[in-house]
Amino acid sequence: MKLFDLAPAYEQALSIITQMEEDGCTADELEEAMKMVDQIEGDLNTKCMNIASWVRNLEAEAKAIKEAQDAMDKRRKAATAKADSLRNYLFYGLKLAGVTKVQFPHFVISVKQCPESVRIAPGALIPDKYLRHPEPEPNKVALKDALKHGKEIPGCSLERNEKLEIK
C-alpha cells in the first residue's frame, strides 16, 4: 500500500473504532477492530521507516556526489593552473627568443596581438555615465526585522513554513 492510502485508512479505522465504542459493540468486536488498526499502524510505520531510510540514502548519495564534484573541481583547477603556467612559460620564452610563429604537424604556435582593453588605475575617478549600476534587490534580513517589530510593509509578510526532519 502507498503512504497516501495508508494514512487515510488508519484515520478511518480509528474513527470506526470510536463509532463502535459509541454504538456499544462487544469486547471481541472491538478487539478484532483494534487488530486491524494495529496492522494498519504497523504498515504505516514500516512505510514511513522505509521512505525515511530512502531519503537518508539519497542524501548520502548526494553528499558523495558533491564530494566527488569538489575533488574533480580541484583537479580541474590544478590542471587549468598548470596549463596557464606552461602557456605563460612558452609565451615569454618565445618573446625572449624573438620568435612569433612555430609550426608543427598537429598545431601552430604564434604570438598574436590582443584587441585593445581598458586598464583602470587604482583610485581612478570614473564619470558616472561609464559606470554600471546593479539592480536593487530586497534586503530580506532588514525586512524580516522590520516586520517582526510591527512595521507594515506593503506586499511583505512573515510566514513560517514546515519541513520534514529525519535525525
Can you give the residue ranges of every domain in the chain? 3-114
pTM above 0.85, yes or no: no
Average pLDDT over residues 19-30: 82
Give the pLDDT confidence score for residue 119 in this predicted structure.
93
In which residue are the cell numbers 512595521 written?
151
CA–CA separation, 10 and 129 (whole Å): 68
Give the pLDDT confidence score for residue 21 in this predicted structure.
81
CA–CA separation, 13 and 6 (whole Å): 10
Give the pLDDT confidence score for residue 4 in this predicted structure.
75
Give the pLDDT confidence score for residue 28 in this predicted structure.
83
Give the pLDDT confidence score for residue 20 in this predicted structure.
83
Per-residue pLDDT at 147 exceeds 90: yes
Give the pLDDT confidence score for residue 13 in this predicted structure.
82
Here the contacts of 94-99 (C-beta below 8 Å, separation 24 or greater) are none
Grid cell listed for 100: 612569433
Between residues 41 and 67, the one the model is more confident about = 67
32 pLDDT band, cuts 50/70/90, is: confident
Give the pLDDT confidence score for residue 10 in this predicted structure.
81
Residue type, 34: M
